[in-house]
Structure 1
Amino acid sequence: MIFLLVVAAIFALLGAVHGYLWRRLVRDTTSPGSGARRTGTVLAVVLPLLTVGALVAPRAGAPFRLQQLFAWPGYLWLALVLYLTLALLAGEVVRVVWLRAVRVRETVPEPVREQIREPEPVPAGADAGGDAGADAGAGGDTAVASAPPAPAPAAPSRRLFVARSVAVGASAAAAATVGYGTYSVLSGPRLKRVTVPLAKLPRAAHGFRVAVVSDIHLGPVLGRAHTRRIVDTVNRANPDLIAIVGDLVDGSVADLGPAAEPLRALTARHGAYFVTGNHEYFSGAQQWVDQVRELGVHPLENARVELSGFDLAGVNDISGENYADGPDYDRALGDRDPARASVLLAHQPVMIHEAVRHGVDLQLSGHTHGGQLWPGNLVAAAANPTVAGLDRYGDTQLYVSRGAGAWGPPVRVGAPPDVTIVQLASRQA
């Protein structure tokens, strides 16, 4: 019931936003009955339906080709809606100021404006008495200063010009923002580097480099080419170990197995490891665990491996609790030697609190995308202890990657995709 209410609220919000966009972009800028208005109205109905199709098709089990057909236009329109709305809301201020300036100008009659610009010279010999006499000769009327006329509404042509100018400006700003954000995703993740000192790390493990990869989100939009870009970025860094910390896919092995195939080319001296994210549980988690193992990536299902210098552990995502497959910290960490440094792979930053209780030295996470689409970072901050970067909770450090892909719109604004090389440092070095 709660789920249905949330869905209803989301669709109501989308409907209200599209009503506002239609009013500002179509009704206010076109003539009634014109072809432009009819076209705009049709688009105002079709485009949100494509977005709904992109969101619903994967959950409804639609054929993958149909999912792809909806995904590109539907998700890109969703990103455009966000920035069109923000730009038009900013344009409301421009609209008010501009129209007010027009009204003030139109309340001053043209002859008065001419007098203001070029006052008439006073005739020679004229004086107050003469003026008075002239006034008396004209009938003795007394001159009374009249109040300025009330501001009149701006002329329709002026209002139309302002509406079209704001609409064009907002559309250009939104299109440029989404275009840049799409390029940011499709050009591949940036390589970041961060050094994390660990008190228990022995001198022999000083400088050990872990490539943190999260939130690739292979699906109807991002496919095999995107995986290859990520693999190339990781391999160029030549890490000692690769950690894929969840949300690898948005779809089934049957649909996305070929897209994940380039992961087979990942190379690192100590191998590549994987833990589930929440999206794996929407896509068949166990099938994907088996698939990544077949690709040469080692799943850590509430498990631990002892490496030279530290313990590497991984826990299932908390979403797995709905499938009797949730995180088990005791199984992953319970019997380890507490004198050894420990690094935990856990998809969601909120899992840091359990990591602290179990004496973990460093947790590596993803999930937030850094907000992905500004101002989404504000929403992400409300739901996660850390949105991106390195943070400390007691004796445990947490590093959160912004992720290498994108969910939904293949667009990132203010949160570029990244692969992070986390270099472990020994305080004994």
Structure 2
Amino acid sequence: MEFELNPGNTAWLLTASSLVLLMTPGLAFFYGGMVRGKSVLNMMMMSFSAIGVVGIIWAVYGYGLAFGADTAGGFIGNPADALFLKLDDGEWWGAADTGVPALVFAGFQATFAIITVALISGAIADRVKFVTWLTFAVLWVTLVYTPVAHWVWGGGILAAGPIVDALSLPIDFAGGTVVHINAGAAGLALALVIGKRKGFGTEPMRPHNLPFVMLGAGLLWFGWFGFNAGSELAADGTAGRAWVNTLLATCVAMLAWMATEKLRDGSPTSLGAASGVVAGLVAITPAAGTVQTEGALVIGLVAGVLCALAVGLKFKFGFDDSLDVVGVHLVGGLVGTVLIGFFATNGEYGSFYFEGSLNGLFYGGGAIQLVTQVVAALIAVVYSFVLTYGIGLLLKVTLGWRVTEQEEVDGIDLAEHGETAYEANSTIAEVR
């Protein structure tokens, strides 16, 4: 089919791309408020630096790896197909369907790659060298993110291979597998490789600025409408369904997290409300355009409760996932991805991306889509964890991950960036 520009769809995707890019500074505020005052600048810099590193890699060769023609049996795309984003308008397989230029689609996808890398940083707050983090970002987006994106969205082994032939097409409408499960498994791997912060489990490490956390959550929620509704790649009814589901699932998840806190701890907190917002956003992401209202409400409810309970697992099992990347993104991503198998209604709300998938168990499709979702999620978890663990070990024995113990105590902002967020911290460091 010959490419024909659709101005409405193109304008919407440009807007959605800008919204998704805003999410990474929003994440910087969310994460920055959750750490101690002596680490806030470093935490925010890890998110902002992801924009610079991943944006360049995506333009040079990353987009081709994710969305180029299959190579290595569908394991990865061909980077030569889009070096430096030299693209004709029709050079991606959905262009003819939506009328969106390939370059606009490439820009939209860049914002997804950026925030996925930034999400991982929350698992390793307060203790790592900035140069090692930058090196990790280069390696991870190349070796982990682009293959998984190709498998799910670029026509690779999860979109056209033995799983599809034997079961069904896995549904990941906007990034439950590619973004959140991927980042959550990576965060767990790095937390294990790098080890705990000094004082973890024995001294309080409370958020230093809860208004920052709530501001960040608000920016994330706002930008997430571009994340999910934009993933339809068209200004149509399915995009509207994704927008509404994103609103409703998040509302329920926020309330469910606060209710869990009230029953467990006696008080609902602002940190819990903000975390519940993110948990709901994460969980509805893979399902946003493929479930009805009741499905979105159940997904938000389950995610709010399970993620609120899951964030305490790091203390039980002894790994220092500093800002709950595992508890929110891995668990939330799994919740949304698996529940698609129960609630998908693709006959009514299907994006052109998932025309080969089936309805869920509760809508007459049987268990096939559910099994497909579980298999795809497990493949993503194992691949991301194993590859990230290997990358983490490589960097540990070469550049080294940890700042010195004294630098960690004095504050990583001063050690790594030569500045502090607050004058009081600078004065304390000078006295020491």
Could you state the TM-score of these two structures normalised by the residue count of structure 1?
Answer: 0.24
Bigger helix share: 2
The structure with higher relative contact order (CA 8 Å, sep 6+) is 2
**So what's the TM-score if we normalise by structure 2?**
0.24
- Structure with greater Cα Rg: 1
Higher fraction of strand: 1
